[in-house]
Amino acid sequence: MTQTASAPTTDDAARRDDSWIYFDGEYRRYRDARIGLLTQGLNYGTGVFEGIRAYWSEERGQLYGLWFPEHYRRFHQNARVLQMRVPHSVEELCAITHELLRRNGSRETTYIRPLIFKSAETIGFRLHDMPDSFAIATAPMGDYVPTGGMRCMVSSWRRIDESMAPPRTKCTGIYINSALAKSEALQAGFDEAIMLTGAGHVCEGSGENIFLIRGGVISTPAPADNILEGITRQGLIHLFREEMGLDVVERSIGRSELYIADEVFMCGTGAQVAPVVEIDRRTVGDGEPGPLTLRVQGLFHDIVTGANPKYAEWLRPIW
């Protein structure tokens, strides 16, 4: 089934506007945060963001923040690439996020959006000698893509190359590349796009890393193929190796390998672990989520909801 975003309701908008955010050193309501129409980050895409999840466990009555330090370390690194300086340390960012979730009374799975952007209200653009603004907002979030089996297409839009802009960063301007691919896929009746590099190698989805399994061998595109170095991706590689005793090969992957794979899945903060059951109207495997995909999906779910104490260090309890 094609993914469609539901329109926000009046209640959703009111709840969002009344929520607490952190903006330029202050906790304030979402409705009180404003930027000007000439803000450089809005006009030219000169910003960096992160995507983080906190998972609610009804059984435990607890909200678990997942990989807070890992995300904020990447946020610091990415900001440096765009000559920005995050005004807080990693641990300070974790503490601010913890406080936001508590202020908002978050008792549901929640998405966390840190953002730093060039805030000068001027015509013209550059990265150096320009002021930055920094914010964190949160919002409820369920499944970003179908997690029971996605239908994908290989996009006609190629993934941006390292020689053009830094694809390993979550730079706001770069995401026009992803938006073009995503709309192409949705409007063609699919759930998600798969993007290739300029050389024709499999890269990633519009906002997810990708894995394929063939003959028991697990493969995923290497960082040199212009992928975002995903934190969920790295966590799953660890689980495959340490919990399941399986190796993961990071290598260049040809498009036709997608068609003959036994299993394919995507992953990311938004996507979580999302099996792919069809690519370009070709069935993946038997057309159902594969056994290794389901196994790692279940393991991941148990970890993020606090049911697997072995990985408690990946989590930050909020309540």
With a CB cutoff of 8 Å and minimum separation 6, the contacts of 92 are: none
Q: What are phi and psi of 198, to 5 degrees?
A: -60, -25
- Contact at 8 Å (CB) between 154 and 279? yes
Q: Name all contacts of 79-86 with Cβ < 8 Å and 24+ positions apart.
A: 79/48, 79/116, 81/48, 81/166, 81/169, 81/171, 82/46, 82/47, 82/48, 82/127, 82/169, 82/171, 83/127, 83/128, 84/48, 84/116, 84/118, 84/127, 84/132, 85/132, 86/116, 86/134
* Whole-number Å distance between alpha carbons of 91 and 236: 24
Report helix, strand and coil shares of the chain as percent, to nearest 5: 30, 30, 40
- Contact at 8 Å (CB) between 236 and 220? no
Beta bridge partners of 242: none
**170 tagged catalytic:** yes
Tokens representing residue 178 in the block? 């992803």
Helix and strand numbers (H, E) in the chain are 8, 17
Tokens representing residue 71 in the block? 């995300």
Query: What's the one-letter identity of residue 247?
Result: D
209: nearest Cα among 217, 199, 219: 219
Q: Which residue in 118, 170, 182, 310 is the catalytic one?
A: 170
- Report, as residue numbers or ranges, the catalytic residues: 170
